[in-house]
Amino acid sequence: MKKLLFVSHDASRTGAPIVLLSFLNWLKQQKAYEISVYLKHGGDLEDNFKQFATTYLPAQKTITQRVVKRVFKKNEEGAQIPSELMDQSFDLVYLNTVVCLDIAPLLKKFKCPVICHVHENDFTINNYYPEFVAAKNLLAVNRFIAVSKSTLHNLVTNYAIPADKISLVYEFIDLDKIKKPSVTKDEVKQELGLTDEFIVGGSGLTSWRKGIDLFLSLAAEINKIQPDNGIKLIWVGSVTHEFSCRFAYEAERLGIKDMVIFTGSKTIPQNYFQLFDVFALTSREDPFPLVAIEAASLNKPILCFEQSGGMEEFVKDGETGLIVPYADVKDMAVKILTLQDNHNRRINMGEQAGKLSVNYDIGIAAPPILHLITQLINGN
């Protein structure tokens, strides 16, 4: 049986590792390949990876390696790869995110094709990972997978990767799993102290890129336009202590302390997504956010900003959601209030979003990736 090595930058409960886990679960059921996983860093989902494959974590650094890194600020990623992994042979290496590209040249020792699944757009790469897209790393990759047209365009335009070396495969979800919350709406409402409020949902890390500050401004704008609005904003995602302090400071001054709820990280986010009346994607940049597709699969209309990534490729303006000028929270607030007042339009939009989300199920997205893997292994 042919052997595949999948490399993930970590095992955090975030988009790229979740997509990889979904694919590994599907791939294991095909019984076509022997699967191994290397996690550059650990995280909450380590045990999930171990369910589907032999999983390796970085080797412990020697004292010398720790001194070298501290003195010379040098990242010895290659030295951390366990020898028991490097001593094996593989028929294909699959790098999940550009954050794995730094070890691509080293993994060429396996003399097999290398795929890089790119889940990042230009701001993220430039701001956080510019050294990972060095020419020597990109040249070590045989095939790239882009998660949206915006991602593909960025790779071609800003990194000179030939378009014919890139395959477009949109991010995907396990539709059957997402559509099965583990608790009722009433149970979640009781947990959060809700009654019959109109719920605007958001989700993700509490970061600038995800527009968490814009989410707070959105709440303030809604209050300005219509003070007695009966609206609550709920954000599902990990919250740091620093952000909690910032939120307390901002909320007091914006008058939104009792209007916005942060649930923290949740293993079953659909329990909370089911409460949403609309989903507000306030991201400044998001290649193709899973949370929006998950919300759509639960028949929630999606509001997003233009020029902010791949969600414009999903949202059909006026049909499955609404597209708002970039970072214009006032316009988004107006549109949310309009949908609150127009029940039939909102329900119809949500139903159309739900129908469209079927195209992004793993059962549809995974086979093209498997076909690509097989082609590369066979030398095509």
60, HSE (Cβ side, Cα atoms, 13 Å): 2
68 and 167 co-located in one domain: yes
204 and 352 co-located in one domain: yes
Distance in angstroms (rounded) separating the CA atoms of residues 342 and 38: 50
Distance in angstroms (rounded) separating the CA atoms of residues 225 and 78: 55
Domain with 107 in it:
3-172+361-377
Q: CATH number, domain at 85?
A: 3.40.50.2000
321 and 346 co-located in one domain: yes
Positive or negative torsion for Cα 86, 91, 94, 100: positive
- The residue type of 76 is E
pTM score of the predicted model? 0.92
User: Which two three-digit tokens encode residue 147?
Assistant: 């998660």
Question: Could you tell me the mean pLDDT of each successive run of 10 residues in the chain, 380 residues long?
Answer: 96 95 96 96 96 91 51 52 93 98 92 97 96 96 98 98 98 95 97 98 96 98 97 97 94 96 96 99 98 98 98 97 99 99 98 98 97 93
Euclidean distance between the first and the last CA atom of the chain, given in angstroms as a whole number: 19
Domain count, the chain: 2
196 and 168 co-located in one domain: no
pLDDT of residue 30: 94
Question: Using only C-alpha atoms, what is the Rg of the chain?
Answer: 22
231 and 282 co-located in one domain: yes
132 and 259 co-located in one domain: no
pLDDT of residue 108: 82
pLDDT of residue 73: 46
- DSSP three-state, residue 280: strand
186 and 293 co-located in one domain: yes
